[in-house]
Structure 1
Amino acid sequence: MKNNYKLYILLSFFLLSCGVKNNLEVTGTLTDDQLLDTVQYHSFQYFWDGAEPVSGAARERFHEDNIYPSSDSNIVATGAAGFGLMGIISGIDRKFVSRKKGVERLTKILVYLKNAERFHGAWPHWMVGETGKVKPFSKFDDGGDLVETSFVAQGLICVKQYFKNGNPEERELSALADELWKGIDFDWYRNGKNVLYWHWSPQNQWKMNFPVKGFNECLIMYVMGAASPTHGIDKIVYDEGWAMSGEIKSPRSYKDITLQFFHQGNAPNGGPLFWSHYSFLGLNPNGLKDAYGDYGLEAKNQALINYQWCVDNPLNHKGYGANSWGLTSSYSILGYAGHAPQKGKDLGVIAPTAAISSIVYTPEQSLAAMRHWYEKKKDKVWGKYGFYDAFSETANWYVPRYLGIDKGPEVVMIENYRSGLLWKLFMQDEDVQAGLKKLGFQSPYLKK
């Protein structure tokens, strides 16, 4: 039955991609494995069928209703491209695509990244698909983005490890991945201080002025910086920057679910849920501890608080509950917004990626939400690449649109839940191991 169902998924998407209406129906209720196959496969296709055609990398966005800002359809999003590298590895391992085709696509993407504009080794937030030139993200954000670049580095490490013992073509791909990530000059982005800065550009220098401190999605930037054997940072940069000389410790709780860390913006119940996703697609948080706290516990409890807030529904939004939850940064009724479990940040908008990508922390709650949306609301929230980015029952707002930065964690975290594949690849890397040890981390995955 399971093999037949996988054939159904492949055939149905083939028909869809050819413009043929899919009249096949699966009778009965999907098993959990079948549901995960379905969600993971269609989300993977965002990075395969839906990729920007010249670069092969992930688009910033895709709108099924064909409503785009005038110049967005060819824009590569650097962070989403990094997540896409990991998603394609998952697709190869799940046999969604052949290994040969996967290697060809990954090589295409990495050659594009090699030739794209870089700023002291860092890629910009957005790139033009056809040229690799920077597309300014905002008025002064027209240079290197070290956070988005670190998401790429996380993916490059996984590519390096997955193919390092393969055939000559695969070993060449592995070597290119290693070369690219080692070209990132993390030390430059200190700006001479013991903290890492998010942005730098030749035109505007440090004008964005964003030193990264406190818990958010950026832990991976410090880990990659410490791991770099070419342009690394010392532990003091982590201690004084990320950990705020110990002030990152900020214990509090919601319904007896505790948080240990200061969340950027003083979020009382945790920030947008992607903060517990993006850094941990390769970096395994389970058992990951340092002098300041337990990152696995923080990530899990942030997800549990997010879930419990939606169950409690203190603002009385329509449609919230145990089977429909998840607040994170996503499309929103009046544009992009950083939704979080607090008054003023909870706008009645559910983003499926929040619950789906939390499956490694909240498997029962995440599966319940996926099943409810797929079985009860599919006509409103599901399209070519799986669940749409966000919706609101309160506002009766449903738009058939996707964001690459939100689709990537769905593919990767489902895979980590099912097999731990990306966690295993990343955590076995010798540079990553050295970086974690340099920062004083403990982890069951660190070799003695």
Structure 2
Amino acid sequence: MINDKVLSIILGGGQGTRLYPLTESRSKPAVPIAGKYRLVDIPISNCINSNIKRMFVLTQFNSASLNRHIKNTYHFSFFSSAFVDVLAAEQTPDNKAWFQGTADAVRQSMHHFLRHDFEYALILSGDQLYQMDFNEMIQAHIDAGAKISLATIPVNAKDAPSFGILKTDNNNTITSFIEKPVTSLLPDWTSPVSDNMEKQGKVHLASMGIYIFNKDLLIELMNDKSTIDFGKEIIPQSIDKYDILSYQFEGYWTDIGNIDSFFEANIGLTDNIPEFNLYDLKQRVYTNARMLPTSKITGTQLNKAVIAEGCIIHAAKIERSVIGIRSRIGKESTVINTYMMGNDDYETLETMEKDKPEVLLGIGERCFIENTIIDKNARIGDDVRINGGKHLTDTETATYVIKDGIVVIKKNAVIPKGFSL
């Protein structure tokens, strides 16, 4: 089988500064999404659904929670060769530096990969939302006799300047590459696409940051220590040397690189027919099976709400919002256009009696919350009003950050009763 010849390498990314403060105490792949999953669950689930079950996750910043999540989640048969291993940056006698880029991360970890028998390395990003059958891409790679393959997605002229744009011939062979082109250059950077994509004006091919490398070539490329990044160096420098295939993908895909795209991706799950389909049994998204109780909702008007397990909700209204595991929302509160990540544990009656916290876990009573991300284990007191939007300027305090009009309540933050923003 093809997938037995594939080793998957999932890149955890750098410090994730653009997703700060969600990455203040956790790595990018460990950021919670959709109320119950983590970002790393997406590439891992795509691999499992493609029957690719040998995976390494490369990370170096705040990797403790990621390690814990993977250890608690991905258990395979004792007699299986399947695994998901986290490789954090490590100092060795030969190298005392941290990962300097995507290619450098793979280079420093090669000695771990080479302990396994494989013919193709599938290199994935740990911060993207999509569903893809990698077997189709791998088969296309083999059929084309390519040395390297890139997954590409057709985009329009408005979005193209945000990506690395590739140009292909009629055989889907990549002939040139440009990083984030200015709009005036785009007429010269069109490629053959399907009729459906052409009708939508999506005639520019953007790199998705998903690569297949033949093992021998990857080893050869990793010997050159002057290159540290796949997208900026290795791919552009390889175009004139090797046959590189563009594998066009036309499904939903988004790069969760900043707070705005993260927020939109999560809120988009509340649409009647969301672009990212969590209900597809053939493309399941796997995560930690927590065995939580059902959610309990009393007197709440719900409209386009996604509510995870184990919640206790007495709110007046929840609209176009994602409510994460173990969330608590008090009476007469309104939550609109908000992603609430939930809590790691319940606050028991015994704990409340003993500690007598001034503000309980979750959202208190008579609150109004809009255009907000509430990170894990936050405490929002009664009568709090948070009205996010473009009228707010970017700022940071000890308990919250405002970016592009979105208010992000930090993990474990305590917002006092009566606070208004």
TM-score normalised by structure 1 residue count: 0.25
Over alpha carbons, which structure has the higher Rg?
2
More helix by share: 1
More strand by share: 2
- Choose between structure 1 and 2 for higher RCO, CA contacts under 8 A separated by at least 6 residues: 1
